[in-house]
Amino acid sequence: MKICLELVNIWKDFKEFKLEKISLKAYEKEYFVVLGPSGAGKTLLLQIIAGILDPDKGKVYIDGVDMTQEPPEKRNVGYVPQNYALFPHLSVYDNIAFGLKIRKLPEDKIKLKVKNIAEKLEIAHLLKRSPRTLSGGEAQRVALARALVIEPKLLLLDEPLAAVDPVLRWELRGYLKKIQSEFETTVIHVTHDFTEALSLANKVAVLNKGVIEQIGTPQEIFYKPKSEFVAWFTRAGNIFKGEAKPIEEGLSIVDLGPVHFTVCGAYEGKVAVMFRPEHVVISKQPLTSSAKNELIGIIDDYVDEGPLVLLKIGVNGLSIKAYVTKSSFYNLGLKRQEKVYLYVKASQIHVIK
């Protein structure tokens, strides 16, 4: 598959912050999400790709061509900033046409391209409107139209759903995926929301304090994090440090002090273990189970999260989180300060060296 974007050893040093050793590849028609907390450097990275900022070191390749020193208009990149940056003094039509006019296309071609993109994004009825009169969802579509009308090889989206209310956010996730598929463009989407990454991305890069912690598929990031930060940021729920030693072929014990876990693989020395709350099986009675890890704990607290209930269970001084469905919670009659049995399969515990 053809590489659409390649960053090679990108550095950008500000007095209070720096991007360091950023290298990644995004392939043609890929939906690539850069995930990280506020202040991680996500927007700075987009601006370097777009040509708004120059890196201190490193190379930016678009379609195999070194574009590191080229201005934004030479890069064939569409950019949608977080606040959409629509020009308030221009109509929706003129906002969409702006990039085409900069490229000095004939007026008849501009009209045709704007008409076509507006129809595809279902905003043709907004063309005469002022950006000041648009809803958040409408403004987003206009900003997308302005970025897509130039037919970019690469579409950069900076927190595109951050300003949208939660009810609309789910709908717009599907809309973004549909747009990417229809236009067959490569998307670089930055966000602090790991659920966006899970629902949209083919590939995810986790950025923390200017450094890439991990690149992988959403499933790799979510279930096999390579660092404690990635596990924490994707809400692994249960992360504990301990001492590992092999016990038999294919298995190890991780000693946490008051509790130990059997895990798959041969490990020795200091490690961290993580397992997700949904991988913990809860029972009020002992079960006959193939799970290697059986624990007994007390329900300290619980949080109602809609269809699921998050249990916080004390186990010999550790706090273990477990999800049960709402129906299971009521059917089992679970209560605070009640004894429960916990089961976790060795194969569902991930070890971070």
> CATH code at 250?
2.40.50.100
Task: Say if residue 266 is in the same domain as residue 171.
Answer: no
Query: Do 246 and 199 belong together in one domain?
Result: no
Residue 74's φ and ψ, nearest 5 degrees, are: -95, -5
Distance, in Å, from the CA atom of 270 to the CA atom of 94, rounded to the nearest integer, reads 60
Domain boundary pick from 192, 218, 233: 233
Indicate if 82 and 50 belong to the same structural domain: yes
pLDDT of 222 reads: 94
Query: Do 219 and 304 have their domain in common?
Result: no
Query: Are 180 and 301 contained in the same domain?
Result: no
| Same domain, yes or no: 126 and 216 | yes
What's the structural domain count of the chain?
Answer: 2
Q: How much is the pLDDT for 162?
A: 84
Please list, residue by residue across 248-281, b when 16 or more beta carbons sit within 10 angstroms of its beta carbon and e when fewer do: eeeebbbebeebebbbbeebeeebbbbbbbebbb
DSSP readout, 271-288? EEEEE-GGG-EEESS---
Nearest to 208, CA basis, from 189, 192, 222, 195: 192
Q: Is 336 exposed, middle or buried (0-12, 13-18, 19+ CB in 10 A)?
A: exposed
Tell me, what CATH number does 79's domain have? Answer: 3.40.50.300
Q: Is 324 exposed, middle or buried (0-12, 13-18, 19+ CB in 10 A)?
A: buried
Please tell me whether residues 161 and 224 are part of one structural domain: yes
Residue 291: its pLDDT value, please?
A: 84
Per-residue pLDDT of the chain (353 residues; tens, 9 = 90+): 899 999 999 999 988 899 999 999 999 999 999 999 999 999 999 999 999 999 999 999 999 999 999 999 889 999 999 888 899 999 999 999 999 998 889 999 999 999 999 999 999 999 999 999 998 888 989 999 999 999 999 999 999 888 777 777 888 888 898 889 888 999 999 999 999 999 999 999 999 999 999 999 999 999 999 999 999 999 999 999 999 999 988 999 999 998 999 999 999 999 999 999 999 999 999 998 888 899 999 999 999 999 999 999 999 999 999 999 999 999 999 999 999 999 999 999 999 98
> How many other C-beta atoms can be found within 10 angstroms of the C-beta atom of residue 233?
20
**Domain boundary residue among 233, 253, 279?**
233
* Paired tokens of 284: 């009020």
- 78 and 217 assigned to the same domain: yes
Specify whether 212 is located in the same domain as 243: no
* 126 close to 145: Cβ distance less than 8 angstroms: no
43: containing domain: 3-233
Residues 256 and 182 in one domain: no
Q: State how far the Cα of 175 lies from the Cα of 170, in Å rounded to an integer.
A: 9
pLDDT at 173: 87
228 and 288: one domain? Answer: no
Residues 206 and 275 in one domain: no
CB 251 within 8 A of CB 262: yes
Using alpha carbons, select from 190, 202, 175, 231 the residue that is nearest to residue 352: 231
Q: Considering 176, 209, 233, which residue would you say is the last residue of a domain?
A: 233
